Structure 1
Amino acid sequence: MMIKTLLHLSIMLLMFGTFCQMYSQTYDFVEIGKKVTKHNNDSEFDQTILLLEHIIEDKKATHYERYQAYSLKYQTYKRLFIYDKANFNLDLALEEGLKSEHKELVSAQVKLEKLFLAFDSLKFDEVNQLLLAIDDEDLKYITFRTQAYYYAVLGTMELKRNELKKTEQYYKKSITLLEEHDPQNLPMIYRKQIDLYRKMNQYDKSIESFEKGLYYAKEYNIDVYVLNMYFDLTYFYKQIGNLEKAVQTQEICNILAKEYNEGGVLGRLNVLESQLMQERIMKEEKRDRFIILSLTGSLLLVLILLLLLFRYLNRIRKNKQQLEEENERLRSDILHLFSKTESDVSNPVRLTERQTEIIELVKQGRTNKEIGNMLFVSENTVKYHLKNIYEVLRVNSRVKL
Structure 2
Amino acid sequence: MKRYLLIFSLFFVQPINAQEVAPSPEIWSLEDCINYALENNITVKDAVLNTDLAEVDYDRAKSARLPNLFGSASQTFTSGNSIDPITSDFVSEKINSNNLGINSSITLYQGNQLNNQIEQNKLLMEQSIFQEEVEKNNIALNILETYLRALYSKESITIAENNLEASEKEVLRAKARLDAGTIALSDYTEAQSQAATNKFNVITAKNTYEQYIIDLKQLLELSPTQEIEIQTLNKDLDLINLELNKTAIYYKALQILPEVEVSDLSIAINEKELDIAKGAYKPTLSLNGSVGTGYTSINYLSFSDQYNSNFNQRLGLTLTIPIFNRNQTKSVVKTAALNIEKAQIQKQNTEKVIYKNVETAYQNAVSAQEQLLAAKSSQEAAEQSYRLAQKKYELEDLSTTDLVISQNTYTNAQQNYLQAKYLNILYNQLLQFYQGNDIKL
Higher relative contact order (CA 8 A, sep 6+): 2
TM-score range, shorter chain: under 0.3
TM-score with structure 2 length normalisation?
Answer: 0.21
**Bigger helix fraction:** 1
TM-score with structure 1 length normalisation?
Answer: 0.23
Which of these two proteins has the greater Rg computed from alpha carbons? 1
**Bigger strand fraction:** 2
